[in-house]
Chain A
Amino acid sequence: MVGEPAVMTRRRLLAAAAAAALLAAPASARAAPARKLKAVATISVLGDLVKNVGGDQVDVTTLVGPNADAHIFSPTPGDARMVAAADIVFVNGLGLEGWMTRLIVASGTKAPTVVVTKGIAARKVDEGGAQRRAEIDPHAWQSVANVKIYVANIRDGLAAVDPAHQAIYDANAQAYLGKLDELEREVKAAIAGIPAGRRKIITNHAAFGYFGDAYGVEFIAPEGVSTDAEPSAKDIASIIAQIRRQKIPAVFLENITDPRLIREIARETGAAIGGALYSDALSEPGGPAGTYIAMMRHNVHEMTKALG
């Protein structure tokens, strides 16, 4: 470029600099993000699992907090902002979060959505007798075996948006799966300790179907899966009749819906009222069911205490 006017040189340099910047940009996007990954989980159970698999690499926020009801959750603008700013979104699926599709669209987020129940054999809700509604039961996390699949899906999802830390996610997942194995053994042993004829529970939230199938406990509920369904007198009469007939020993409350119905049935049949079982949501962090594993342990403990 000898002999060129100075202006031309400057122009070429600027063009070269611009080209270099353009080339560098996608490369930097594909490089590991310098900050933590932002994950949004719909329910507290998922939030806990994502925290365990993501570890320090991931900042998890949960939309439906402790003790709250995902069936009737109503998202706020703050929630929309969180979803918009997220790098990855985890949902349960199976019809639990009816409001989530709209929220994702409304927030305009670019984050991929991971449905953690992919690959799980879903069960239907049965209504203690005639199948009035053929709804899918979304509470798949009540079986530890399913949660292992959840963990795998979460690990794969995180690795897909953040491949640089894949090794960390694999390791975390592995460690957590080990804990889940231990939990599964505990649960099975505890249930085995209950006399076979007494493995029956009445609870007012038909959310334990997967638990029942996996561990051989029969759950009978007066209401449907969603908390808005209203029972008929016949439903309640059938349950009372059944409790009397099969001599079911215990009635359990859970942390979301109106407990008056349960107390009523317990009073009329003489069944014991067990402690609160956690079905849809974890308790507050310091409470008896602050993490998924703690929640399962708590529930099993309460069941064996009342039935054993």
Chain B
Amino acid sequence: MPELRFRNLTLGYERHPAVHHLDGTVENGALLAIVGPNGAGKSTLFKGIMGEIKPLAGAVERDGFDTRDVAYLPQAAEIDRSFPISVYDMVAMGLWRSRGPFGGFSRKDHAGIEAAIGAVGLTGFEERVIGSLSGGQMQRMLFARLLLQDARVIVLDEPFTAIDAKTSADLLGLVEDWHRERRTVLAALHDIDLVKASFPETMLLAREPVAWGATATVLTPENLNKARRMCEAFDEYAEACAVAAE
């Protein structure tokens, strides 16, 4: 059973499509990179997968898991950095799905939290308030939280943008660990070289799917040119889409 299936999916805002007629499946344990120019619809696609927006046409089918079981890292997390919370407590929130809003943390849970913090290289930062973290440290912290979520499906929107190379490399290691653990990982990325090096499967999206399959066959110069040529702005005078909706 595929993990995710897109059926003639169109997602957008106020009737303008940001993702246009996407069809296809994501298999269990896939490690899929989603690549495309600005405005290609990558973030929109993730919002659709998470159920944050309803499709304008078509559907997203999930194989028996709830959106709440997905570990989602949005592009610009609306985190209030002035809030007085420690790294430890923030990471601990990753146990939400297993402990719920009221559950206490066992000794094992605390060990798990510390392990997650260690895995992202933030040992020693437990009591720091989040406002004192750099961009890279913040991203590590969020990855630690993702680790604790222990989710079957992990969705990452531009996880390595604007952070230093060492952090990127470390966190990429964690992504590869997830892949080995047979979790399904989707990641929107800008760095073509990184994708070619580490991601076996790629979807090239430029509002409409340009190509989807093995990375080598997808990321060809012709495909990349085609994607670049797609119009970025919404067309205010567009006609209603002629292709029949499902």
A and B touch in the complex (CB under 8 A): no
